Amino acid sequence: QVQLQESGPGLVKPSETLSLTCTVSGGSINNYYWSWIRQPPGKGLEWIGYIYYSGSTKYNPSLKNRVTISVDTSKNQFSLKLNSVTAADTALYYCARVSHPDGSSGWYQDYWGQGILVTVSS
Amino acid sequence: DIQMTQSPSSLSASVGDRVTITCRTSQSVSRYLNWYQQTPGKAPKLLIHDASSLQSGVPSRFSGSGSGTDFTLTISSLQPEDSATYYCQWSYSTPYTFGQGTKLEIK
């Protein structure tokens, strides 16, 4: 059973960089896409971006040039960096596996971490 | 970007009821539409992918239908554990936008 676990600071100061890591266990990070999704308190879900195990990425344009997702296959981990954070970036951050079985199917998040709350405050 | 509109935004139903939640997209998404269930304090759980494919382990009372711009999630016989917020998600090209959610309460 694939499991994902987010880790990182729960408090980040405004204008600084939010850094989170997702550790994958019970399966290999290879041959899959891996995504980050966030949820502000009491609000809905926002897709942040994904990375393929080989390193190719796609990001949500709403986050412009503030986001970077990277992967470390040797550690079975992938990471999120979001710079120049403001209070609007306060959210529960989830990492998830993306499945895309074949060219006729869509892309869906089938395994999720439990989420980590990151608060942006001085 | 594709816009997703779910309706209703909230509803209340009784155990045993048949419940339907709708998701409408701003342009055709073919069948590339997923449904997730989120219970309080938990991560979202995939229920349906590609509009009507039931994810492994999900009870058969959940079903999905639709294509193009109009999709539905149906719970055939509501159970107490189905109290949750349900989200649809466009899933073929990025950004993978979510609907705003439908909160389902049990009477």
- Separation in Å, CA B84 to CA A17, A28, A58, B98: 33, 31, 30, 16
* CA angle (B20 as vertex; B18, B70 as ends), nearest 5: 150
Residue B60 DSSP code: T
> What are B54-59's contacts with CB under 8 Å, separation 24+?
B55/A110
**B24 vs A: CB within 8 A:** no
Q: Note the pLDDT tens digit of each residue in A5-25.
A: 999 999 999 999 999 999 999
Cross-strand partners of B33:
B90
Chain A residue nearest residue B86, CA to CA: A44
pLDDT tens, N- to C-terminus, chain B (107 residues): 889 999 999 999 999 999 999 999 999 989 999 999 999 999 999 999 999 999 999 999 999 999 999 999 999 999 999 999 999 999 888 899 999 999 999 99
Interface with chain B: mutation pick from A58, A108, A110, highest number of B CBs within 10 Å: A108
**pLDDT at A68 exceeding the cut of 90:** yes
Q: What is the pLDDT of residue A23?
A: 98
Q: What is the pLDDT of residue A61?
A: 94
**B25 vs A: CB within 8 A:** no
